[in-house]
Structure 1
Amino acid sequence: MSASLPLGPFNWLKGEGRPYALGDVRSRKMLRTVEEKHPYLKKRAFNRYLRIADSSTYHQADMWLEDVLNRLNLHDDFGGLKADSPFELFRSFSENVSQRLEREFTGHAVAVDGKEALHLLIRETNKAGMPFPVDQKDLTDKEKVIPGMARVFDPAWWRRKLRNKAYQNSESVYRELGLVSKAKNLYVSEYNFRRYLAAQASNAELLELLTAENQFGYTATLASLKERSVSNPRNRRNETMMRIGGLEDYANENGHVGVFYTLTCPSKYHATHQNGHMNGKFDGASPLDAQKYLNKVWGRVRAAFKRKGIEIYGIRTVEPHHDGTPHWHLLLFLDREFLPEANRIFHAHALEEDGDESGAAENRFVIEEIDPEKGRATGYVAKYVSKCIDGHEVGEDSYGNDAVESAARIRAWASIWGIRQFQFTGDPGVTVYRELRRLKNIEGNREGLLQELEIAADNGDWKRYVELMGGTCTHLKDRPLRALMVPKPTPSKYHETVEKLKGLVGSAGQIITRIYDWTISRTRPTGDDLQCSDSCEVAVRGANAPPWSSVNNCTRRPYGI
């Protein structure tokens, strides 16, 4: 049914110079919900709705709009929890839903039986917007069911899960409506970027308030300990570049060559063009869907390499396009004789899906064979590492923006979508290296290979460390050292036995590197938004602490929208 623009709930479109067709009563009801609950999205949502209806059918437009509302609506209870609600509301919801589920489970277990009560708990958990944290096949395993129930009864578990869901659901909608692009908000929406910054500031404040003390009386704030760790962007960047440089030195010494690959997703994974206009080929894929696609391609390439006997080592970096779609840069080292075949294999798999679309041959996959006469291979990847961490000495990003500011947005993007920015392949890994560096503070006489490894780590000599650890592309079981994991003396709050890193073990010997037992205390009272009982675990595990937000999304528009 077609009609001119109606008055009432959609009169904000009046006077825009064209007649509008609207669907049935259900369509109008959904559009009215957008206007009432998410007013800052109404014009973009309405225009997108009409474009879908014009190019397809109202049924398709209704399905799209229903999906948008489902993503934005986390739960109807307790006033209606939305994906774009201020995070302050998540605390009361989490406490209410966890307490209600525990009461209902206990009451049903007493009135009926435990098995029926468990199935009731699973149904109610799903209705509350979260899958039960135990696989269907494991519901008869008491060792897995009890920890799952403990999570459902824990408000902190609900807060963490709901925040992640809120971030990703709202971000997917903002991205789909063109609010994440070079023309609007680069890499991530402004609203979620500010939520991320608020969470980081809240975490930083909490770390200043918490003090760690070991059994020898040494004390330090968690903030100062974080500053010395790889959680500090500067330290993370330096360590990453040290590892890349060491691998290049190892490659040069062994006669291997370097190659730099860039892998990009097909057009259907990209939401918008750089001018902010919607991409007509976009199929609604999230950055996580795009990352899964890239992982699938890489998995097939690695399998093909293995079948051909091609051994590779190096680093993969991930960064977002302007609209938040990830793409990869890979710096790989390999034997020169295998380079042509490796290029052929990678190219074939990179263009296997939609390889005939316009621009695919030029943009989807790029190979740069590294010429040592033009500079070190490390230089090819250095700027990508820096602009994804802190923007150090980069100047401007790919879109002409300040690299330091862009790096903060990229970190927010990676955190929101849970995307690992850097991953090495083929080298011995960094855990053993970091534990070896702890030995300089531990008295004792080390001999043989263990002593050599300690010296290499203490000197930051990654090439020597790789050599002593058995070289590249060596199985973990064949390396002289690996992490020594031991069970913690007490179960976790979810009644699970948890292992912790204690030292190193292997053919090179065994040594304890974690000699301190730490207790964490609060130095002074915190505000209501930094409850230690809720936030200590959040800060230590690196998740988002309760962030500040001054936006009531039912009455005001988020920043940048």
Structure 2
Amino acid sequence: MIDSRSLPICWELVGNSEKMQPITITRAAPHCWGKFGFDKVAEQVKSRLALIPTNRLRRIAAHGYAKRFNSETAKNPERSANIYLRKTIERVTEIVDRSPLTIRELNSKKARKDKAKQITTICQQMGIVEFDESTTLEDAEQLVFASYIAMHDFTMSQGVTPPYQATFNAAKSKKVDGTWERCDTNLLADRLERGIRRMQCDKWWLRKLNRLRDTTLEHLNITMGLVKKGVSPYASKDAVQEFRHSKKSQREWVESMQLESKDGETIDLKHVFDHSISNPEIRRIEMIVRIRGYKEWAEEKGMACMFYTVTAPSKYHANSDKYNNASPRETQEYLVKQWAKVRAELSKAKIGVFGLRIVEPHADATPHWHMVLFMKPSDEATVTNTLRRYALQHDGDEDGAAKNRFDATPEDKSKGDAVSYIIKYISKNINGAHMGDMFDDETGLPIEPENGIVMNVAAWASRWRIRQFQFIGGAPVGIWREFRRVPKESVEKLSEIAKEIFEAADNSRFAEFIELLGGALGEQSRPVELAKEENGANAYGEPKQRTIGIASRGFTYVTRVTQWLLKRSDSDSPWSTGNNCNTPANDWQIGHGEKVNPIHLIPPEHRNAVMRGATYQEDDEINQTVTHYWVRGGNLMQESMSYA
């Protein structure tokens, strides 16, 4: 006699073999038979699990359901399992519905490529306009505006922020001396046209769709409880694994590349990487030097130092019963808005602050802020009260809000200064240097540079594109870095004030550097600034600038005399996004089933100009025709005229 019966609701691989085993739910007799509805229960569970996008997440949900359903201690196991699955599916469905990607597109890079091309075609069709010789400049501008608005709305519907959206929203007429002045429509149309070119580029769309895929899948991991202490803190196992792979690919790419000057001199890119701010250790040291300079300058001016911690309301935390399914990115945007309110109020009161803000994740991936701020002692109470008010503006009366949502601690020299307080956060969130024998306060896990919790934090910041460090006030680090490039033998060419600034930068005296540049609160104008020059345009027609040196009182000292081209170590030609692909040896050589790219009809030396809006003319003396080629809406257009 059968006392119980098990039915599969999902399948998974066993170990490293290809053998599949079922994840089952079990019911005792007599309710295990079909006439009691047990088979129907299993089928319903399988259909609901199918709503979860990836196989891995589906298996995890199945395990969660089966664990509750098969429990021998729960009062009502089936009800508990159904509540778990219903809430999980509701949160998953909300996230999937908000994403413009289908389940197939979330799991397939090829499907995302196809979608990017389809969207690009739609945008290109939106950009097709008709004009003739009677079309005026104002008419042309209106055509650009109409095309941009159509593509803007379509891009928003795809869950992507359109390029130049802030520029478009900020464009408005201004009232000057009682009369309204229109904005510069010519300049606006020029900028929006660059945005149109981006929205008509499949590569731009693929980058956006890949980013949506990353955040959607990570958000699903969070909402299903797979990002937390004891499972995978800060970031999911998938995100950490992909981050490790990308770091490895980046290292291999850097090691395979060289820089070559016009004179033929070559330098390994790895050497440049290791000695630049791209190196995490150099970045860590520079940040410590800067915050130490902030502290020293503040002490010289008799300023107060405060440490603040700001946390979002409980509804933003995935481990809370009040969780509203917000992503870490949405939580960060909330904190940024609250900080903007604080800055606006302090600015209105003419109160200046400077310091450093560090964004760090909780174990459930929810971001919170640590800040060390310097201010006048007389302003400390106002700054603290303003920060507290906006930190508790929403749900400030919930349990534990006063204790956990905001903390303000004055500097206590007996326990350590601002640098010693902030240095552990800098190291933990960059590379974990000198913390190999330490443990993370929140998770209790070791802080190791390669295999510890540091990798999870880095994966979290990379996945959500969250800026971890932001200096407030102080002096521009770009000028600091540029002065440190000046060779000592060339210092005599600098102006007197520039020489003093060089000495401060070259000897890592950031407090003196701040003072020479006008103070941390920007009370005085800066005596030096970066010198830049135009450096062509990118594929979307956007002008590029490059830093060439330092400008001081009408004099420019050039620090970047040599221009370098990037190339592969085993190649003689410079590297670019064009020749980086596996293209045919000649433009006219195509594989079976491929289509020739019409732009290849244009000679290579003229293609970039045509893609940026120029017209290429080709004379055919035999047939006595002139053909004009130009790009419209991302498509190559041509018109032939006979002069016979």
Give the structure-1-normalised TM-score. 0.79
Deviates more, 1:398-407 or 1:44-53: 44-53
Structure 1 match to 2:101: 74
Query: Which digits, 9 at most, give the CA deviation of each residue in 1:375-422, with x for residues without a partner?
Result: 322111111111111112231112211212212211111111111111
Distance 1:127 1:9, change over 3 A: farther
User: Which residue of structure 2 aligns with residue 241 of structure 1?
Assistant: 288
Q: Deviations over 1:276-302 (max 9, x none)?
A: xxx211011111121122212222222
Task: Report the Cα distance in structure 1 between the residues aligned to 2:231 and 2:385, rounded to whole angstroms.
Answer: 38
Cα 1:504–1:446 change in 2 (3 A) is closer
Determine which of 379, 389, 392 is the counterpart of 1:348.
389
State the match for 2:52 in structure 1.
34
Task: Sort the Cα spacing of 1:442 and 1:423 in 2 relative to 1 into closer, same or farther, 3 A.
Answer: farther
In the alignment, which residue of structure 2 is the partner of 1:163? 210
2:439 is equivalent to residue 396 of structure 1: yes
Q: 1:382 aligns with which of 402, 414, 423?
A: 423
What is the count of residue pairs matched by the alignment?
509
Residue 503 of structure 1 aligns with an amino acid whose one-letter code is G
Higher strand share: 2
Distance 1:509 1:470, change over 3 A: farther
Residues 262 and 328 in structure 1, CA contact (< 8 A), matched pair in contact too: yes
**Aligned ranges for residues 359-378 of structure 1 at < 5 Å?**
359-378=400-419
- Quick one: distance in 2 between partners of 1:531 and 1:508? 36
> Partners in 2 of 1:478 and 1:192 — Cα distance?
45
Shift of 1:348: 2.1
Give 1:149 shift: 4.2
Structure 1: 5+ residue runs without aligned partners? 273-278, 537-561
Aligned to 1:457: 505
Counterpart residue number, 1:323: 364
Name 1:270's counterpart in structure 2.
Answer: 317
Q: CA deviation at 1:41?
A: 4.5
Match of 1:14 in 2: 25
Deviations along 1:62-84, one digit per CA (max 9) or x if unpaired, are 764432333577247xxx311xx
> Structure 2 counterpart of 1:81, which letter?
E
Query: Could you tell me how far 1:94 is from its partner in structure 2?
Result: 6.9
Structure 1 or 2: more helix by fraction: 1
> Is the contact between residue 302 and residue 376 of structure 2 (CA under 8 Å) also seen in structure 1?
yes
Residues 41-95 of structure 1, C-alpha deviation per residue, up to 9 Å, x if partnerless?
543797999889859x98x98764432333577247xxx311xx36x64785477
SS in 2 for 1:407: helix
Between stretches 146-155 and 235-244, larger displacement belongs to: 146-155
Q: Is the 8 A contact 1:311 1:473 kept in 2?
A: yes
Structure 1 residue 252, shift from structure 2 partner? 1.4
Using the size of structure 2 for normalisation, the TM-score is 0.69
The yes-or-no answer on 1:510 pairing with 2:556 is yes
Counterpart in the other structure of 2:333: 292
For the residues of structure 2 that align with 1:407 and 1:431, how far apart are their CA atoms?
Answer: 27
User: Deviation per CA, 1:235-294, whole angstroms, max 9, x where unpaired?
Assistant: 01100000111111111111112111111111111101xxxxxx2110111111211222
Residue in 1 that maps onto 2:546: 500
- Relative to structure 1, is the Cα distance of residues 94 and 238 closer, same or farther in structure 2, using a 3 angstrom cutoff? farther
Helix, strand or coil: the match of 1:373?
Answer: coil
- What CA distance in whole angstroms lies between the structure 1 residues aligned with 2:384 and 2:391? 10
C-alpha distance in 1 between matches for 2:530 and 2:368? 32
Q: Does the aligned pair in 1 maintain the 2:289–2:508 contact within 8 Å? A: yes
Cα pair distance change 1:459/1:531, threshold 3 Å? closer
Partner of 1:503: helix, strand, or coil? strand
Equivalent in the alignment of 1:542: none
Shift of 1:445: 1.8
The answer to which of 363-372 and 494-503 deviates more is: 494-503
| Secondary structure of residue in 2 paired with 1:314 | strand
* Partner residue of 2:566 out of 512, 517, 520: 520
Residue identity matched to 1:445:
K
Counterparts of 2:461 and 2:262 in 1: how far apart (Å)? 37
Distance 2:266 2:115 in 1: 34
Structure 2 Cα separation of the partners of residues 229 and 121 of structure 1: 40
Q: Answer with 1 or 2: which has the greater Rg.
A: 2
1:338 Cα deviation after fit: 2.2
Contact 2:309 2:370 in 1 (8 A): yes
| Aligned equivalents of 2:40, 2:511: Cα separation in 1 | 66
Change over 3 Å in CA distance of 1:411–1:50 after alignment to 2: farther
1:323 to 1:62, Cα distance in 2 relative to 1, 3 A = closer
In structure 2, which of residues 338, 341, 344 is the aligned counterpart of residue 303 of structure 1?
A: 344
d(CA) in 2 for partners of 1:192 and 1:61? 20
3-state SS of the aligned residue for 1:188? coil
Q: Deviations over 1:313-359 (max 9, x none)?
A: 11111111001111111111112222233222222222222111111
Question: For residue 621 of structure 2, what is the aligned residue in structure 1?
Answer: none
- Is the 1:147–1:496 Cα contact (8 Å) retained in structure 2? yes
Structure 1 residues 367 and 517: CA distance shift in structure 2, 3 A? same
> Match of 2:519?
471
Paired letter, 2:514: V
* Aligned equivalents of 1:468, 1:22: Cα separation in 2: 77
How far does the alpha carbon of each residue in 1:507-558 deviate from its partner, in whole angstroms, 9 at most, with x for none?
A: 4843222222111111237xxxx9964869xxxxxxxxxxxxxxxxxxxxxx
Paired residues of 2:95 and 2:219 also in contact (CA < 8 A)? no
Q: Aligned pair in 2 of structure 1 residues 96, 352: CA closer, same or farther (>3 Å)?
A: closer
Mapped to 2, the partners of 1:504 and 1:463 lie a distance apart of: 20
Task: Say whether the 8 Å CA contact 2:260–2:566 is kept in structure 1.
Answer: yes
Is contact 1:30-1:66 (8 Å) kept?
Answer: no
SS at match of 1:327: strand
**1:332 paired to 2:359:** no
CA contact (8 A) 2:6 2:27 kept: no
Query: Structure 1 residues 225 and 16 mapped into 2: Cα distance closer, same or farther (>3 Å)?
Result: farther
Structure 2: stretches of 5+ with no match in the other structure: 11-21, 32-36, 69-77, 131-139, 172-184, 582-644
Amino acid at match of 2:95: V
Label 1:374 to 1:214 Cα distance change in 2 as closer, same or farther (>3 A): same
Amino acid at match of 2:403: E
Residue 233 of structure 1 aligns with an amino acid whose one-letter code is P
Residue in 1 aligned with 2:479? 432
Q: 1:323 to 1:16 in 2, by over 3 A?
A: farther
Could you tell me how far apart the structure 2 residues matched to 1:465 and 1:520 are?
Answer: 33
Q: What is the distance in 2 between the residues matched to 1:14 and 1:408?
A: 37
Tell me if the contact between 2:23 and 2:63 (Cα under 8 Å) persists in the aligned partners: no
SS of residue matched to 2:484: helix
Q: 1:376 to 1:70 in 2, by over 3 A?
A: same
CA pair 216-341 structure 1, distance change in 2 beyond 3 A? same
Secondary structure of residue in 1 paired with 2:493? coil
Larger mean Cα displacement after TM superposition, 354-363 or 65-74:
65-74
Partner Cα separation in structure 2 for residue 22 and residue 142 of structure 1: 61
Deviation at 1:233, TM superposition (A): 0.9
